[in-house]
Amino acid sequence: MKHRVAVVKTDIGVGEATKRAVELLGGIDKFVEPGQETLLKPNLFTVKGPETGATTDMRVVLAIHELLKEQGSKTVLGECPATASYTRPDVVFDGLGVRNLCEENGIEITMLDREPPVKRTIEGVILNDLWFPETATKNPVINFPTLKTHVLTTLTCAVKNLFGLQQGGTKAHHHVHVGNDSEAFNHLLLDIYSAIKDQVKLHVVDGHVAMEGEGPASGDAVELGLIIAGGDAVAVDMVAASIMGWDPVNEVGTNHLAIQRGIGPRGMEEIEVVGEAIEDVVHPMKKPEGHQDGQMFIDIRMPILVDEDKCIACGICAKVCPAQVITIHKLPEFNMDRCIQCFCCVELCPHGALKAIRPDE
């Protein structure tokens, strides 16, 4: 049986498009049994709003909450914001107005970073033992990624958004563990997905406003106007990459490695797209400058450049650096001999002042 992925235009309204996508997949009861408490896991890694393409539009989340409420299920919203490495996790919920929205709509909020960690053991490629917040291991999970480019992984969508279930300093530990190996990091993402995928029942991608270029935080907003949804993360990511005008198998590392590992579909021929046809909604999107066409993994070390007009020497880049190779003087200074090329500094700079540049070859 083919993996089904729904693609719906948001010109009927973001919430209505979300509900329509679930309807095309067979309805919410197909994914969550009535009466179950369900964890809603958006991408809320920064205080930049959904109009920038950086974070999940809460209208998508609220639409799914309404469907779950109608079937008698309770919802709880949780996230492990990457910004928690230099500030309180709840700053993101407050800064994006998520706390008020949840209170108004009867959605409980949980700080996943503060929950007891629960171990899951798999036969992984990079790690066998992985830890997740307790709520994510005892409840059905619905994943709400945004459709974005990523300076390290090229695409951040359904598979990559589950990295956000890694608590606190665990994310930094993972980056240090894989070092400079881009392929190893993509394998690690698939290890995380493999360990939790039975819990994650549905992936609903916010493609209303997407992001291209230097994602996941400093890229350019793209008014794509789509919701993409499906029960399998790899299938959803393949459809997303196709809509972005990329080769879904040979230009997205997690997709390519998933096929090797027997995770999800082996290609687009094993996916049934319902709703809009891909060819009718293709919108070619620019990759980060460090990636080349046809490339799955970064194969070259890249210097990190500082935009002196944007940098205020706030020191956040130094705080989030897993390898601790950044010192702050008038501007950040990098010990590139020890840099592990995780680009956390680029991703989490609140001013978009840092960029990884592929040097001329």
pLDDT attached to residue 361: 47
pLDDT in tens, 259-295: 999 999 999 999 999 999 999 999 999 999 888 888 8
Quote the radius of gyration of the chain (alpha carbons, Å): 19
| Helix, strand, coil percentages, rounded to 5, for the chain | 35, 20, 40
Q: Which domains does the chain have, with CATH numbers?
A: 3-281 (3.40.50.11440), 304-356 (3.30.70.20)
- Is the backbone of residue 294 left (phi > 0), alpha (psi -120 to 50) or beta? left
Q: What is the mean pLDDT of the chain?
A: 96
Instruction: Determine contact, residues 56/48, Cβ cutoff 8 Å.
Output: no
Supply φ then ψ for residue 10, to 5 degrees: -90, 10
How far apart (Å, rounded) are the C-alpha atoms in residues 65 and 16? 13
Q: Which single residue is written with the structure tokens 């949804």? A: 229
Q: Which residues contact 149 (CB under 8 A, 6 or more apart)?
A: 155, 156, 211, 212, 213, 214, 215, 216, 219, 285, 286, 287, 288
pLDDT attached to residue 85: 67
pLDDT attached to residue 299: 85
* CA dist list (Å): 34 to 42, 237, 278: 21, 28, 32
For the whole model, what pTM was predicted?
A: 0.97
pLDDT tens over the chain, length 361 residues? 999 999 999 999 999 999 999 999 999 999 999 999 999 999 999 999 999 999 999 999 999 999 999 999 999 999 999 887 667 778 899 999 999 999 999 999 999 999 999 999 999 999 999 999 999 999 999 999 999 999 999 999 999 999 999 998 899 999 999 998 999 999 999 999 999 999 999 999 999 999 999 999 999 999 999 999 999 999 999 999 999 999 999 999 999 999 999 999 999 999 999 999 999 999 999 999 888 888 889 888 999 999 999 999 999 999 999 999 999 999 999 999 999 999 999 999 999 999 998 886 4
How far apart (Å, rounded) are the C-alpha atoms in residues 16 and 14? 6
- The secondary structure of 147-206 as a DSSP string is EEEETTTEEESHHHHGGGGS-TTHHHHHHHHHTT-HHHHHHHHHHHHHHHTTTEEEEEEE
- The stretches of the chain forming alpha helices (DSSP H) are 14-24, 58-70, 90-95, 98-105, 134-138, 158-161, 170-178, 182-196, 233-243, 253-261, 278-281, 316-320, 344-348
Supply φ then ψ for residue 147, to 5 degrees: -90, 110
Residue 183: both structure tokens together: 């392929």
pLDDT attached to residue 294: 84
pLDDT attached to residue 84: 72
Residue 120: both structure tokens together: 């899951």
Instruction: Determine contact, residues 268/257, Cβ cutoff 8 Å.
Output: no
DSSP-derived 3-state class of residue 109: strand
